[in-house]
Chains A and B, each alone.
Chain A
Amino acid sequence: MKKNQWYNNQIFPWLLPIVIVILWQVLGQLNLIKSTMLPTPFEVVEAGIRLFQTGELQENVYISTKRAVIGFAIGGAIGFLLGLFNGTILFFEKLTDTSIQMIRTIPHLALIPLVILWFGIGESAKIFLVAVGVMFPIYINTFSGIKNVDRKLIEMGKVYGMSKWQLFTNIILPGAMPNILVGIRYALGVTWISLIVAETIGAEGGIGYMATTAREFMQMDVVVLTIVLYAILGKLSDFIAKLCEQRLLKWNPAYRKN
């Protein structure tokens, strides 16, 4: 491993994105890229400041984040509990796993027409879509995590007098945790994608609503701003998930610092 190379540091990976943004700005200012096609980074930032001053930015980000959190919580809880029951109780696995695996193959965004007919285009439709999208990755990873916990450790726990509850909290759950966290990170990605799609179908408030109205008024700077906002929120949630990973898996040398 070449660890001490000049390019192996915190700053170098940021070089390329910075160059691209500068290039984009320069090309825009020279009118080589028309601002009706793609506004310059400065114009996007200006749009952000403008909307921040009117308060629209914060409000819409808040609305979207709230939808994401509620949808993720509902879908995550259902997926986790299903995974838990199916992973530990054979009866539930035999009863439901095949059905879940079948439903799972439907792309959840294909449900949109149905969801609109069921819920209209209000809040519940968006939260429902996010929850459905989140449920499956969490379910699958929780289930397989529990299934793959080392049987020998469970046997040891039994021999050493652990109660059922202790077996669960001390062996099964921590053993399944790496998989569960993989599911959570994947599900976070699904959350934002579901929301982006859901919010463009007649939303009241939210980043998608911002994007739709901006498109109608040909405000290219705001359209690009909304894309950037989604990217930032996605990155931020991934960052939080990574922090959780580092905390919960600190026993694992791969996640231990230094």
Chain B
Amino acid sequence: MFGIELQNVGKSFGNNEVLRDINLSIPKGSFTAIVGKSGCGKSTLLRVIAGLENVTSGSLAYTDGKAKRSDIRIMFQDDRLLPWESILKNVAIGGVGIKEAEAALEKVGLDGKKDAWPDELSGGQKQRVALARALASKPDVLLFDEPLGALDALTRMEMQHLIEGLWQEQKFTSVLVTHDVSEAVHLADRVIVLDEGGIQMDKQIDLPRQRERDEKFTSYEKNILDKIVGG
């Protein structure tokens, strides 16, 4: 496992300054959520962390010396399964063996579907396969870019449970981008509000897990929502 250290990170596309002066230290094994309005740079921040975008200024480091980019996996909003491969082959990519792929599918409860084609699965099932694919290589860091945004409320809750359970079991460093504040409070140790390219709020969530929507939960929720809307 390793953590992530961002120092004075800025990122521009041409004249469009998307991220400015981000200082963020993400300890290994932690669960961080990033929330904010659409277009505020959440995905860009995630892609910077994944090494898919170079920073314009500042620096990005993976703490714990021997960390490699290959130990990072992203789960995207769309499932990005290969339509021409079976479910099992979709999980067994990039050096992941069949045995590991089967084990990962079992973890998400889809070992029965391993010979199906992706288009034979529902949206929720496809995202579970995408989660299995992300987990199969036992990554140190798992980045989520609104992976549940397209799912219905019920499937979404199921997936949240699944992700939380797997994280507690495997303790990969997690960064979850979401527009759903309730989802952030539900899953994360810490919620970061991003606005106009900067960190507006950095809030620790001290609630025992499994979290219920009690008074404390909703007060965290309201607090964060006010910050997003009010600035």
* Chains A and B come from one and the same complex: yes
Q: Report yes or no: A155 in contact with B82, Cβ–Cβ below 8 A.
A: no
Contact of B83 among A157, A158, A251 (CB under 8 A): A251
In contact, A251 and B137 (Cβ under 8 angstroms): no
B117 contacts the other chain (CB 8 A): yes
Query: Inside 8 A of B74's CB, which chain A residues have their CB?
Result: 156, 159
Are A161 and B119 within 8 A (Cβ)?
no
* Minimum CB–CB distance for A189 against chain B, Å: 26
Q: A159-B50, A159-B52, A251-B117 are in contact. Are A152 and B76 (CB under 8 A)?
A: yes
Q: Does A174 contact B (CB under 8 A)?
A: yes
Bound together, the chains give a CA A235 to CA B74 distance in angstroms of 48
Q: Which of A152, A162, A253 contacts B93 (CB 8 A)?
A: A162
Contact status A153-B94, CB under 8 Å: no
Find chain B residues with CB under 8 A from A166 CB. Answer: 93-94
**How many B residues, CB 8 Å from partner?**
20
Q: Does B186 contact A (CB under 8 A)?
A: no
Residues of A within 8 A of B70 (CB): 161
Residues of B contacting A162 in the complex (Cβ-Cβ under 8 angstroms): 93-94
A160, B82: Cβ atoms closer than 8 Å = no
Whether the pair B84, A251 counts as a contact (CB closer than 8 A) is: yes
Which A140-163 residues have C-beta < 8 A from chain B?
152-153, 155-162
Q: Decide yes or no: A170 and B82 within 8 Å by CB, A160-B73, A161-B137 being known contacts.
A: yes
Which of B78, B84, B85, B94 meets A161, CB within 8 Å? B94
- Whether B78 and A251, one on each chain, are in contact in the complex, defined by CB atoms closer than 8 angstroms, is no
Q: Are B117 and A152 in contact (CB under 8 A)?
A: no
* Min CB gap B143→A, angstroms: 9
Q: Which of B50, B94, B95 has the most CB of A within 10 A?
A: B94
Which of the residues B72, B80, B83, B137 comes within 8 Å of A156, measured between beta carbons? Answer: B80
Type the 1/0 row for B28-66, where 1 means its CB is closer than 8 Å to any CB of A. 000000000000000000000010100000000000000
> Per-residue CB proximity of B67-95 to A under 8 Å, as 1/0?
00010111010101011110000000111
| Chain A residues with CB below 8 A from B119, complex form | 251, 253
Q: How far is the CB of B208 from chain A (nearest CB, A)?
A: 33
Complex CA gap A123/B93 in Å reads: 48
Give the residues in chain B near A253, CB-CB below 8 Å: 117, 119
Query: CA–CA, A170 to B86, complex, Å?
Result: 12
- Chain A residue numbers with a CB within 8 Å of B95 are 161
In the bound complex, CA of A96 to CA of B84 (Å): 31
Q: Which residues of the partner chain A approach B128 to less than 8 Å between Cβ atoms? A: none
Chain B residues lying within 8 Å of A161, measured Cβ to Cβ, are 70, 94-95, 137
8 A-B contacts (beta carbon < 8 Å): A156-B80, A157-B93, A158-B52, A160-B133, A162-B93, A177-B84, A251-B83, A252-B83
* Chain B contact residues, CB within 8 Å of chain A: 50, 52, 70, 72-74, 76, 78, 80, 82-85, 93-95, 117, 119, 133, 137
B-binding residues in A (CB < 8 A): 152-153, 155-162, 166, 170-171, 174-175, 177, 251-253
New contact pairs (19) apart from A160-B133, A170-B82, A251-B119, CB-CB < 8 Å? A152-B76, A153-B80, A155-B52, A155-B80, A156-B74, A156-B76, A156-B80, A159-B50, A159-B52, A159-B74, A160-B73, A160-B94, A166-B94, A170-B85, A174-B82, A251-B85, A251-B117, A252-B83, A253-B117
